[in-house]
Structure 1
Amino acid sequence: MNVSVGLIEGQSAAEVELTGAFTDASGKPYRPGRYRFTSEVTLAPSDPASCAFALDDVTIGIGFHWERMERQVFRGAFRLMKRAAGMTVINDVPLEDYVTSVISSEMSASCPLELLKAHALISRSWLWFPKANSSRSGSGGRLDSHEILRWYGREAHPDFDVCADDHCQRYQGVTKAFSPAAAAAVRATAGEFLRYNGAICDARFSKCCGGITERYATAWEDEAIPYLESFCDGPAQSRSNSPETWIRSSPPAYCYTDDSALLSRVLPGFDQETRDFYRWRVAYSPEELADLIGSRLGADLGPIRDVQALARGPSGRIYRLKITGERDYIIIGKELEIRRALSRTHLYSSAFVVDNESGRFVLRGAGWGHGVGLCQIGAAVMANEGKTYIEILQHYYRGTTVSI
């Protein structure tokens, strides 16, 4: 099967550089070179293995602290759709080629082989899950004068299956240098899916759980999913009774590593800029925090006087947060909405405690991402210690099996 991936949206025109020969739907040939399109077109490669197209200024990490533009190269078909908001560039690519790109974009292609195999399998499962479960994983929430409760699903892409950025899964075509191991991992797991009671799993993952994985309901709708529950990310770990105590400490866990050599093999170049992923710290003055809330949520609370966690998940991630200012208060949830509100980009996670130090609000936090499902850095450490991809998957998705 093919996967349709949205690369760019909202432009007035699309400029593309073709390497190799392409043809449009009418059979018109396009030779190698640069082209500018302002109307809908579909270009198919004459030789999928050697032909490619390149796009300048593709934005990656949209809204996150690593956001930037890159020139990226893709194989497969180039498709341009015209919508009210502008032109949408789509890449139609075979499933296993898509998975190979994802595991080389989400992680470095030099990762341990067993991690690449585990990631190939969950990336394939995550992609396939909504095709069999269209009624689930939608956005939702509620909004009133004092509370914002939102979560974000996957139904925001009516014109393609997935986007190419962190909202779905990172997909950067053949831009990243693929290692033989990445292709070998996809071949070794071709057609395999993660299953629970025979059904394909919604195989969520994040960069670093912070020592305890999170349950599904903390980040999305209030639904208990047996294989997306919370547990300690270590071989013999017991959690503290207090999430606040856990966050303030640095207990051992698979994802607690300062092995620079391993991290350089595991993380893509721009992710290597972030090394305080296990425990982190940010600080704001009351006025800075009020300005953030005003710009991110449109709420005029005045200088902030108190930040209070009303509800936490098992990992300590907050999913209801009350912020009180001189003029008013607001309650924010869930996990991602909190991270967006308290940063110009995104907080690393919503697992944090708040201290007032010399008139400033100091947020001390744990982990990077929502923490649900597989912990990418923890899985890398497990693979480096000799665990197989099956052992890694059964650790992070309890009660699951792997099958075609």
Structure 2
Amino acid sequence: MKEPQITVGILSGKEIEFFLPESFVTPDGTMASGIQKAVFQKGKIYWQGKAYNELSFSPIQDTDTFFELKDVTIGINFHWERKETQRFKGSLKIIVEEERLTAINVISIEEYLTSVISSEMSATASLSLLKAHAVISRSWLVHKLRTRNILNEELRMKDETLGMATRKENTVGSSSSTSDASLIKWYDHEAHTHFDVCADDHCQRYQGITRTSTPQAIEAVSSTRGEVLVYEGEICDTRFSKCCGGAFEEFQNCWENVRHPYLTGQRDASAIHLPDLTIEKEAEKWIRTSPSAFCNTQDKRVLSQVLNNYDQETIDFYRWKVSYTQQELSALVHKRSGINFGEIIDLIPVERGTSGRLVRLKIVGTLQTLIIGKELEIRRTLSPSHLYSSAFVVDKEGEEGQVPTRFTFTGAGWGHGVGLCQIGAAVMGEQGYNYKDILSHYYPGSVLEKQYE
């Protein structure tokens, strides 16, 4: 196969401001440079007094040409959310999407990856970590492109057969096996229908050439060019998160009920037994203590290699605490879920995954009771942005037999915990493990395979 080009959704809005420092050209041959603005009006894109259904700008100079987009939101819905002006190589495409405009970057996959590993972490990380991350970012993306092509072909054939359009939903609800009502959701990347991936943490963090790429980051991508992880002939769905909290979660406990053998529960350490954290007693002991693991580190030098400046605003991530008063928690759950539980009486673990992360949680209120899941839905419901993870235990304060006055969450890890743990992998790199060692630790049973030159 040839090196793919991909489309990355960067931002959306009623207006999009951008800057072309050198000449770019549109498909109809119009030349453009300098400060530009596209505006959404009456279902069209208005630019320089003309209406378009779609608008694109391609550089006519060498590959170092870039364009700038203003007011790009990074960290969407996270505690460090903010806006930046960002620079991107490749082409700019603007489309109409849901009564607004969306700016899309069209770029080669290898150029994209150089930015991703510099955006997901500091480009000063060890070469072993950067190479491992280049491989998993490439694997995840190529897997996604192939899966989308298969789904599109299946939908096309079904459309021809049934004479109607069919769309796969990526948010799924199901009933609990108990008598309690339940709301079980997971969130994946098929929500993007007009581009391959978004530029934020929902997919992979991508900030163009805004973050400086060091020679080491460029080497990490070029020296692994075309390499992906494969398991039994299929490209791996190589998920990753900031900090697993000492134990890996399994895919099916966060997303659809499909088990990937290379995304399995084990300890983030070398040859040390992992307790069965699906058992509540074992999970509570694990979360309330600080077991040894690669990602159990306070080494600021190592963390600075993994965490960009805004990520370093998060101090505690291996083990953390969050506390709410009754009033704060009941108001928060109502706002985030849209459901009025009344006062919160209890939060009861129903099911945990292999890392101790909650897959299903029962919320007991004075007005109603509901089981929610999976892990991201739990994190979203119990925080103004996101809890660091769903691996937590809850302590209640107040008079016995009365509605609790305060809830304190003690938690483990940062993110879903599936696949590569970025902080654990950084420590492995510092300890002398090469990138192949890192990959086989986090994706056991997988092998490297070159897809293109």
TM-score band by shorter chain is: over 0.9
Cα distance in structure 2, aligned partners of 1:84 and 1:384: 46
| TM-aligned CA deviation for residue 220 of structure 1 | 0.8
Change in CA separation of 1:312 and 1:48 when aligned onto 2, cut-off 3 Å: farther
Task: Say whether the 8 Å CA contact 2:252–2:259 is kept in structure 1.
Answer: yes
Aligned AA (1:343): S
Q: For residue 426 of structure 2, what is the aligned residue in structure 1?
A: 380
Cα distance in structure 2, aligned partners of 1:331 and 1:47: 56
| TM-aligned CA deviation for residue 85 of structure 1 | 2.3
Cα distance in structure 1, aligned partners of 2:442 and 2:97: 40
Matching residue within 222, 230, 240 for 2:257: 222
1:278-304 deviation digits (Å, cap 9, x = unpaired)? 000001122211111110111111111
Secondary structure of residue in 2 paired with 1:355: strand
Q: For residue 388 of structure 2, what is the aligned residue in structure 1?
A: 348
Q: Does 1:397 align with 2:439?
A: no
Q: Does 1:166 align with 2:201?
A: yes
Task: Say whether the 8 Å CA contact 1:140–1:221 is kept in structure 2.
Answer: no
Task: Say whether the 8 Å CA contact 2:321–2:409 is kept in structure 1.
Answer: yes
Task: Say whether the 8 Å CA contact 1:14–1:89 is kept in structure 2.
Answer: yes
Cα distance in structure 1, aligned partners of 2:169 and 2:271: 35
Q: Does 1:117 align with 2:157?
A: no
Cα distance in structure 1, aligned partners of 2:61 and 2:428: 39
Cα distance in structure 2, aligned partners of 1:236 and 1:243: 20
Superposed counterparts of 1:66-105, under 5 Å: 66-105=80-119
Cα distance in structure 1, aligned partners of 2:88 and 2:171: 33
Q: For residue 305 of structure 1, what is the aligned residue in structure 2?
A: 345
Cα distance in structure 1, aligned partners of 2:288 and 2:97: 48
Aligned AA (2:345): R
Cα distance in structure 1, aligned partners of 2:446 and 2:330: 45
Task: Say whether the 8 Å CA contact 1:255–1:375 is kept in structure 2.
Answer: yes
Aligned AA (2:128): E
Task: Say whether the 8 Å CA contact 1:48–1:76 is kept in structure 2.
Answer: no
Superposed counterparts of 1:305-344, under 5 Å: 305-344=345-384
Cα distance in structure 1, aligned partners of 2:370 and 2:62: 53
Q: For residue 21 of structure 2, what is the aligned residue in structure 1?
A: 19
| TM-aligned CA deviation for residue 367 of structure 1 | 0.2
Q: For residue 416 of structure 2, what is the aligned residue in structure 1?
A: 370
State the TM-score, normalized to the length of structure 2. Answer: 0.86
1:1-55 deviation digits (Å, cap 9, x = unpaired)? 211000012x122110112111111122113x10112323110001242211111
Cα distance in structure 2, aligned partners of 1:348 and 1:374: 16
Q: Does 1:231 align with 2:266?
A: yes
Cα distance in structure 2, aligned partners of 1:95 and 1:129: 13
Q: Does 1:146 align with 2:181?
A: yes
Cα distance in structure 1, aligned partners of 2:345 and 2:318: 28
Task: Say whether the 8 Å CA contact 1:81–1:88 is kept in structure 2.
Answer: yes
Superposed counterparts of 1:128-147, under 5 Å: 128-134=142-148, 139-142=170-173, 146-147=181-182
Task: Say whether the 8 Å CA contact 1:49–1:75 is kept in structure 2.
Answer: yes
| TM-aligned CA deviation for residue 224 of structure 1 | 1.4
Cα distance in structure 2, aligned partners of 1:306 and 1:341: 14
Cα distance in structure 2, aligned partners of 1:122 and 1:107: 14
Q: CA RMSD in A?
A: 1.5
Cα distance in structure 1, aligned partners of 2:415 and 2:10: 23
1:106-129 deviation digits (Å, cap 9, x = unpaired)? 011111011000000000010011
Task: Say whether the 8 Å CA contact 1:25–1:42 is kept in structure 2.
Answer: yes
Q: Which moved more, 1:354-363 or 1:295-304?
A: 354-363
Task: Say whether the 8 Å CA contact 2:397–2:407 is kept in structure 1.
Answer: yes
| TM-aligned CA deviation for residue 326 of structure 1 | 1.4
Secondary structure of residue in 2 paired with 1:155: helix
Aligned AA (1:121): V
Aligned AA (1:399): G
Task: Say whether the 8 Å CA contact 2:145–2:196 is kept in structure 1.
Answer: no
Matching residue within 314, 319, 332 for 1:279: 319
Secondary structure of residue in 1 paired with 2:185: strand
Query: Which has the larger Rg?
Result: 2
Cα distance in structure 1, aligned partners of 2:341 and 2:133: 43
Task: Say whether the 8 Å CA contact 1:138–1:153 is kept in structure 2.
Answer: no
Q: How many residues align?
A: 402
Q: For residue 34 of structure 1, what is the aligned residue in structure 2?
A: 35
| TM-aligned CA deviation for residue 349 of structure 1 | 0.2
Aligned AA (1:163): C
1:133-159 deviation digits (Å, cap 9, x = unpaired)? 346896232167931100012111111
Cα distance in structure 1, aligned partners of 2:199 and 2:352: 31
| TM-aligned CA deviation for residue 400 of structure 1 | 0.4
Cα distance in structure 2, aligned partners of 1:189 and 1:84: 38
